[in-house]
């Protein structure tokens, strides 16, 4: 086996978290590659393999999505009470078991039950990885998050291409094989996760250093500022649903642009995230800087929604140009919001309840994934002028969040998730 070159070592040294940080990036790319194999054909599996009707598939996915909302806060509480690495590995094993159970039945009730059980650890996964990265990378957590998001998009792309190749065969047997491929990816990442060191928990470090008696941990459900922040962040996560759900449907039902433009725009979104997530992360490397990003974020939402409205106002060239502009604006909104949300959610969480706080914040994304499609389809039904109104609402959400967290961001916090003086080995 060849030794790493000096250039290779220099690249590895720029990834925060050392060997465990790099190992968790491998976990993320394998995880999303497996998810990419399965996510695009989930509804088709239930239709062609399980024999469910359209209404049953819709109800199954709605129920599982609703149940999955509870996964983030539940994972956060568990992470405050048990070793984080074991909680992450357990959630990965649960995802594999729930998915594998789908192969054992075609009964609608059981399929719904297994899907719902799988949605809990699935929604918990992002919160747990976020918490691990925050504890491991410390003050470099924003850069680590940017690198992690880049690997996630690469994994999604690899999995999506693999699923497309399998489905191109036209065989119904491809669906169970893709499911099994996802299960195997969970087994691999669970084994890799257990090889990672347990990162230092700031609350334990603080307690050891001060030798003071333990007080009752902070409760995120009683923290009005944090709950308000989470609620506004749920709105700002809407870029995901607009890009993934609204844009393809809008192309087909409201514009004269070719339907084949939809997958090309999704590729454009992925490429932009891979190219710019890490370079732009430096603009949100501190908590005040992350708060300032809410201003350009609002402008990008306004531009993107105006472009979507304009895409339905003219001919083919105007539609294509406006849609490309909309996707570019909303993709940069996605990049900026990911950076700001990561840093602000971590900075606003006190050390003695970091898992619980980040678990509650995980509700923002879970709720958006559940309710977002209903909202954007309602906007599309109302016509092109509804898009600027949605953009105005998102600008209002950004302005509200900017003002809401002002005092918490401006004053120094006595407890922080960053523990730069303590290493994993220590």
Q: Are 85 and 198 in contact (CB under 8 A)?
A: yes
Enter the DSSP assignment of 351: G
pLDDT at residue 112, as a whole number = 93
Residue 350 pLDDT: 86
In whole angstroms, what is the distance from residue 410 CA to residue 291 CA? 10
CA distance 220 to 229: 11
Over the Cα atoms of the chain, what is R_g?
22
**DSSP assignment letter at 5:** P
Q: SS3 breakdown of the chain: % helix, strand, coil, rounded to 5?
A: 80, 0, 20
**What pLDDT does 253 receive?**
84
Looking at residue 385, its pLDDT comes to: 93
Read off the DSSP letter of residue 230. Answer: H
- CB burial class (10 A; 0-12, 13-18, 19+) of residue 209? exposed
In which residue are the tokens 């399929």 written? Answer: 111
In this prediction, the residues of the chain whose per-residue pLDDT falls under 50 are 1, 204-213, 412-426
**DSSP symbol at 198:** P
Among 142, 95, 76, 98, smallest CA distance to 281 is for: 142
User: CA–CA separation, 425 vs 361, rounded Å?
Assistant: 29
> What dihedral do alpha carbons 190, 195, 199, 204 form, nearest 10°?
90
- Structure confidence at residue 426 (pLDDT): 29
Buried b (16+ CB within 10 A) or exposed e, 216-234: ebbebeebeebeebbbbbb
Q: In sequence order, what DSSP letters do the residues of 53-116 get, joined into one string?
A: -HHHHHHHHHHHHHHHTTHHHHHHHHHHHS-HHHHHHHHHHHHHHHHHHGGG---HHHHHHHHH
Q: Give the number of other CB atoms < 10 A from CB of residue 345.
A: 24
SS3 call for 425: coil
Cβ-based burial of 164 (10 A; exposed 0-12, middle 13-18, buried ≥19): middle
Q: Are 314 and 383 in contact (CB under 8 A)?
A: no
What's the pLDDT score for residue 249?
Answer: 83
DSSP 14: T
């Amino acid at each position: 086996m060849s030794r790493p070159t000096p250039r290779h070592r220099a690249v590895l040294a720029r990834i925060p978290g050392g060997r465990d940080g790099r190992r968790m990036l491998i976990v993320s790319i394998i995880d999303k590659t497996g998810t990419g194999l399965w996510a695009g054909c989930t509804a088709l599996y239930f239709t062609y393999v399980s024999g469910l009707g359209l209404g049953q598939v819709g109800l199954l996915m709605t129920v599982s999505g609703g149940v999955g909302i509870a996964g983030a806060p539940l994972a956060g509480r568990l992470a405050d009470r048990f070793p984080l690495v074991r909680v992450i590995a357990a959630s990965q094993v649960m995802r594999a078991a729930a998915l594998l159970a789908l192969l054992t039945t075609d009964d609608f009730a059981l399929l719904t039950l297994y899907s719902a059980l799988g949605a809990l650890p699935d929604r918990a996964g992002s919160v747990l990885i976020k918490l691990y990265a925050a504890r491991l990378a410390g003050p470099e957590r924003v850069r680590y998050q940017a690198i992690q998001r880049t690997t996630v998009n690469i994994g999604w792309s690899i999995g999506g291409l693999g699923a497309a190749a399998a489905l191109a065969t036209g065989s119904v047997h491809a669906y169970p094989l893709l499911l099994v491929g996802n299960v195997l990816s969970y087994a691999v990442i669970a084994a890799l996760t257990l090889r990672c060191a347990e990162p230092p928990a700031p609350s334990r470090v603080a307690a050891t250093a001060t030798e003071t008696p333990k007080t009752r941990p902070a409760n995120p459900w009683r923290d009005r500022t944090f709950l308000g922040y989470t609620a506004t962040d749920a709105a700002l996560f809407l870029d995901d649903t607009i890009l993934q759900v609204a844009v393809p449907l809008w192309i087909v039902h409201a514009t004269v642009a070719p339907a084949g433009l939809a997958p090309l725009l999704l590729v454009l979104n992925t490429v932009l995230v891979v190219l710019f997530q890490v370079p732009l992360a430096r603009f949100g490397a501190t908590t005040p800087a992350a708060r300032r990003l809410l201003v350009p974020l609002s402008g990008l939402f306004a531009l993107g929604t105006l472009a979507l409205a304009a895409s339905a106002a003219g001919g083919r060239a105007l539609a294509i140009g406006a849609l490309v502009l909309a996707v570019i604006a909303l993709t940069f909104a996605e990049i900026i919001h990911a950076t700001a949300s990561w840093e602000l959610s971590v900075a606003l969480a006190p050390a003695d309840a970091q898992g619980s706080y980040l678990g509650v914040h995980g509700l923002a994304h879970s709720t958006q994934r559940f309710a977002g499609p209903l909202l954007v389809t309602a906007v599309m039904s109302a016509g092109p002028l509804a898009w600027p109104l949605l953009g105005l609402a998102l600008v209002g959400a950004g302005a509200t969040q900017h003002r809401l967290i002002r005092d918490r961001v401006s004053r120094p916090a006595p407890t922080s998730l960053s523990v730069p003086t303590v290493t994993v080995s220590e």
